[in-house]
Structure 1
Amino acid sequence: MSAGEQTHGPGRELHLPSTVRVAVREAIVNLLANAGLAADRPGRSLMLELIHDNLGFPLTLSEHATGRDQLIDVVNACARADGGMHALDQAVRMLRPGSPESELLHRLVHEPRMHDLLPDSELSWLRSVLRGFTPSRLGILVRRAASPATCPAADPGDAWEAFCLLTELNTPAHGLPPALAFVELVAAKCARPLGDELREWNTWQARRVQGEARLRELRTEREHNGGGELRLHLVIMVEPDGIDPDRHVVSHWRQEDPQEWPPARGGIATIRGADLEYHVDQLIVDAERAWSEYREEVALEFVLPRALVNLPVHRWCKEHETGDPRPLFLDYPIVIRSLERMFSRQWHRAWRIRWEAMSGNPSAERVYYCSPQDTAGRHRLDAILSDGKWLMMVLAGPPPTRPRPGGDEMATGLRSGIPVLLWHPDAATDVLHEVVAWLLDGGGLGDLPARTQDSRRAAFREVTNPVDLRIARDLVVLWDDPSRLLFLDEGPYLPDAMREDSDERGRAS
């Protein structure tokens, strides 16, 4: 563990001695005492002479009644002196060459690990609790505690083994070692009183290593995420094949942890148009098998280019192999997302501003209903949507596969940052507006995907409603969250046309 106070590389010293943490100094005092230097006055005096020789000047020390108190004074004086900890390291290496204590002291000075900073009694108690305990989704807890770049490659067998693996990782700048972040996550999996005991233990250890602030933040984050709003997402991207118009390229991203984004891309396949629904069916069934032990809700999203936004994904079914396929909307809120906007970074600032505005005030009064007159004049709709009041658009009709320059509803909405677009393939304007107003009544924009799903279910049940919900089955909801962008393994994905343009610019530079 890098305690944040060391400088890296052999022979380098702590140039900011005040940052030598109490936990490091405590561990060094314990090590020296266990090596017999608390009781061995002559040995302690010799160590001090060597420290002074290595420093080139004497430390200012006080006389103490006990040998341990004298060691504390020596270690604290070394921590305050420029080069002092390095001098201590060299002195012990000369006193006890090749000994385990000299090797451990060297690591504590230059690269202390979490395991080295905790007293044996503390580790013994934690071992008794974690050994043999395997919380659900242990691998996810380990990845969440460690940053993705430093996550241990080994697959731990139980929580104690996971803790030990995480003690080898560096401490982030915020000061909470990954091993203690892991204990906090495990505590959340335990019932009382054990969960409370683990949290109390963790509070003391975080104080020891000066990671209390980050621990408080972590607990606050968990409280905010404890309201049942977490979802797992399966995101499926469909693109036309660049050569065969009857084929489509399908990629997918499946979340394994609702608190982590982005997940890794799950794969890519080229599928005939007639087989698209069946391929998506298999992706969903595979996801449900992987999620069999989860309790979170699931959301299904389709990332589509302009040419495919009218693909009827909301009518598709799953489990065709059973002979009784089940409509997707019975189990998932289904939305689409814009491929062009996701990878057009020049649109993202406006997009994020409107999304944040919607999070703060999702009022139904912030919906703009388009009319044919809006596209009669060039850039008339651009001017209307430049008002930050608007957060959702109801299109006058389904968008054509190719945009109309200067007067295209969908293109204008995307470029203006409108995060939510809705349309219907053939509903009359007044009926569509009535249904939308009913969907937004009470919950506003924030509940639109779930309310749309409920309306589709209600239409099947022939529930009596004040509006005609039969049109709800073909409503298309483009619901775009800018915080969940997609990435391929090598970085942000670019559609072929954009990638070629980027390559040209790269060659030109």
Structure 2
Amino acid sequence: MSAGERTHGPGRELHFPSAVRVAVREAIVNVLAGAGLATDRSSRSLLVDLIHDNLGFLLTLSDQVTGRDHLIEVVNACAKADGGMHALDHAVRMLRPGSPESALLHRLVHEPRMHDLLPESELLWLRATLTGFTPPGLKALVRRAASPACPVDDPGDAWDAFRLLTDFNTPAHGLPPALAFIELVAARCARPLGDELREWNTWQARRVQGETRLRALRAEQEPAGATGLRLHLVIMVEVDGIDPDRHVVSHWRQEDPREWPPACGGMATIRGAELEHHVDRLIVDAERAWSEHPQEVALEFVLPRALVNLPVHRWCKEHETGDPRPLFLDYPIVIRSLERMFSPQWHRAWRIRWEAMLGSPSAERVYYCRPQDMDERHRLDAVLSDGRWLVMVLAAPPTARPRPGGDELATGLRTGIPVLLWHPDASADVLREIVAWLVDGGRLGELPLRTQDFRLAASRELTDPVDFRVARDLVILWDDPSRLIFLDDGPYLSDMTRESADERGKAS
């Protein structure tokens, strides 16, 4: 029997849609009160007159003692009248044109919600199917269906998750998040359940005119364990502004390899001597959360210039076992530039070079800096203005502070070079040899993975044809501009606005 033909026994009710409708009415009342209508009697009277004009007939309204009670009476009357909510929307737009409250009320009225669109019989079938069912990575599926940056409570099962998503507005593409969630769940299910959920979803998407987006979503789906997808743990370390021996550590953990950006996972102030152990705990916690995922994992450290020589590539995890395990055995490890992350004036050039690297990952596009590049002010800037250069190998490790007019790291970041490499003590000739091996054969895009392989080879004491031991301390600044990190509701902010951003981040 198809989803559109299902029948259900008599006497069964689903006490779920009406509760959400009440929540929508309450939200509308709050919007009107926020617009000042609870305290302004004359504006409320004008609002009612405008509603009547838009409807073409008078609503029956009772006298109420308080302004908020009057708003509740008006909203409830509009909800019960044919065209009443649209009349309310038009009235508020005339009364408060261009205001945030008018825009929010318009969305509440016009954007379809699942509880208003699905017949009760369909919801009964879905509840029976999803109750008690918990697909792998349930929370990640909810976040992906709603919004990667949207905080989501832990659902008990797939039905709880669906109920949660019915309270989300439908995006412009027309497929409600709740139906997107069902599609994601169906992709994780074996037959016949997966086929039944997809059939059910096809009917519902047709009902809400979301078929185009549903087809696109199905085309995007990849089988579980698809190659090329990685989970990322991004760890940002900053020097405390008051005590240089203390560091502020934040982290972002993907729960779905297709999801970006994940929400900030928290912030802690750690003494320098405890940094490695704190990162150890973050990694172990991430591995526990990823226990059911088949994807590979990558570690990224977002560092300010003062910390780019922090030896994160030599750190270990699982110290509590008494036998710490080097991170490079399990993960490719790269650093990223904190300064570039929150300098949007550099992002256009950055994105151009990154896209060029994806299209032409050739070893011929690596520039090896020379000491004489720093002899003349802005000489390196002129060299790197040539768009063929996508990777830069520094002649020496960057200093804690830039040298005006002649600094390799600062110049590389400003000109958009997405990949910068250096070594703490290797000679220029040895470094050139090892980098040439890493990027040989158009494998520039695999640089982090190739470096991990070389580090493993060095641990196995394989030293032919090049000395892989040099790769142990090779620093890779590998910066993907499509994966910016977020502290709150925007990109990472500069120090001038950090204090207020910190408070919002902690509150969230």
1:301-450 matches, within 5 Å, as 301-450=300-449
SS in 1 for 2:83: helix
Could you tell me how far 1:210 is from its partner in structure 2?
1.1
Check the 8 A contact 1:338/1:480 in 2, yes or no. yes
2:43 alignment counterpart: none
User: Whole-Å Cα distance in 2 between the matches of residues 441 and 449 of structure 1?
Assistant: 13
The Cα of 1:150 is off from its aligned counterpart by 7.4
Is the contact made by 1:142 and 1:151 (CA closer than 8 Å) also made in structure 2?
no
Instruction: Please name the residue that 1:213 is paired with.
Output: 212
Query: What amino acid is the match of 1:321?
Result: E
Q: Aligned equivalents of 1:490 and 1:124: distance in 2?
A: 37
- 1:101-148 deviations in whole A, cap 9, x for unaligned? xxxxxxx99775424433455444434432332212222222222236
Aligned-pair distance for 1:315? 0.9
Report the Cα distance in structure 1 between the residues aligned to 2:274 and 2:114, rounded to whole angstroms. Answer: 53
Deviation of 1:404 (Å) = 1.4
* Contact kept? 1:135, 1:186, Cα under 8 Å: yes
Q: Which amino acid aligns with 1:334?
A: I
Which residue of structure 2 aligns with residue 86 of structure 1?
83
Question: 1:189: which partner in 2?
Answer: 188
Aligned equivalents of 2:316, 2:150: Cα separation in 1: 40
Instruction: Give CA deviations for 1:342-388 in whole Å, capped at 9, x if unaligned.
Output: 11111111111111111222222211111112222211111111111
| Structure 2 residue aligned with 1:478 | 477
CA distance in structure 1 between the aligned counterparts of 2:332 and 2:219, rounded to whole angstroms: 29
| Deviation at residue 211 of structure 1 after TM alignment | 0.6
Q: CA deviation at 1:269?
A: 2.8
Q: Counterparts of 2:247 and 2:120 in 1: how far apart (Å)?
A: 60
Specify the structure having the higher radius of gyration (Cα). Answer: 1
Q: How do 1:213-362 and structure 2 match up within 5 A?
A: 213-223=212-222, 227-362=226-361
Offset from partner CA, 1:447-475 (integer Å, 9 cap, x none) = 00000001000001012532111111010
Q: Map Cα deviations across residues 409-454 of structure 1 (whole Å, 9 max, x no partner).
A: 1111000000000011111111111111111123521100000001
> 1:145 matched to which residue of 2?
145
Code of the residue aligned with 1:367 in structure 2: it is V
TM-score (norm 1): 0.73
* More moved, 282-291 vs 367-376: 282-291
- Amino acid of the structure 1 residue aligned with 2:129: V
**Equivalents in 1 of 2:470, 2:348: separation in Å?**
34
The residue type paired with residue 460 of structure 2 is R
Question: Hey, what's the Cα distance between the residues in 2 that align with 1:366 and 1:348?
Answer: 20
Deviation at 1:226, TM superposition (A): 6.8
In structure 1, what residue type is equivalent to 2:132? G
CA deviation after TM superposition for structure 1 residue 406, in Å: 1.2
- Aligned in 2, Cα 1:243/1:235: closer, same or farther, shift over 3 Å? same
Query: Deviations along 1:196-245, whole A, 9 cap, x unmatched?
Result: 33223322321222111111221222239973222222222222232333
Alpha-carbon distance in 1 for matches of 2:216, 2:377: 50
**Alpha-carbon distance, 1:164 to partner:** 3.4
> For the Cα contact (< 8 Å) 2:280–2:318, is it kept in 1?
yes
What's the secondary structure of 2:260's corresponding residue?
A: coil
What SS does the aligned partner of 1:466 have?
coil
CA change 1:110–1:479 in 2 (3 A) is closer
Cα RMSD, aligned residues only? 3.1
Q: Shift in Å at residue 296 of structure 1? A: 1.9
User: 1:85 touches 1:109 (CA, 8 Å); kept in 2?
Assistant: no
Q: Counterpart of 2:136 in structure 1: which amino acid?
A: S
Alpha-carbon displacement from aligned partner over 1:65-119 (angstroms, at most 9, x marks no partner): xxxxxxxxxxxxxxxxxxx9639x99xxxxxxxxxxxxxxxxx997754244334
Indicate conservation of the 8 Å contact 1:152/1:166, yes or no.
no
Aligned residue in 1 for 2:117: 117
Does the 8 Å CA contact 1:150/1:169 hold for their aligned counterparts? no
Change (3 A) 1:419 1:192: same
Q: What's 2:466 paired with?
A: 467
Unpaired runs of at least 5, structure 1: 3-7, 11-53, 57-83, 91-107, 503-509
TM-score for the superposition, normalised by structure 2: 0.73
CA contact (8 A) 1:86 1:109 kept: no
Tell me the equivalent position of 2:94. none
Larger mean Cα displacement after TM superposition, 169-178 or 261-270 = 261-270
Q: Are the equivalent residues in 1 in contact too, given 2:148–2:263 (CA < 8 A)?
A: no
Answer whether contact 2:391 2:419 (CA < 8 A) is retained: yes
Distance 1:173-1:398 versus aligned 2 partners, 3 A rule: same
Retained in 1: the 8 A contact 2:375–2:406?
A: yes
Task: State the Cα distance separating 1:493 from its structure 2 match.
Answer: 3.0
Q: Structure 2: how far apart are the matches of 1:498 and 1:163? A: 38
2:78 aligned partner = none
SS in 2 for 1:223: coil
* Alpha carbons of structure 1 residues 254 and 152: separation in structure 2 relative to 1, 3 Å: closer
Number of aligned residue pairs: 408
Q: Is the 8 A contact 2:135 2:188 kept in 1?
A: yes
State the Cα deviation string for residues 143-185 of structure 1 (Å, max 9, x = none): 22223687775x5432233323433432211100122111101
**C-alpha distance 175-248 of structure 1, shift in aligned 2 (>3 A):** same
Cα distance change, pair 344–143 in 1 and its aligned pair in 2 (3 A)? same
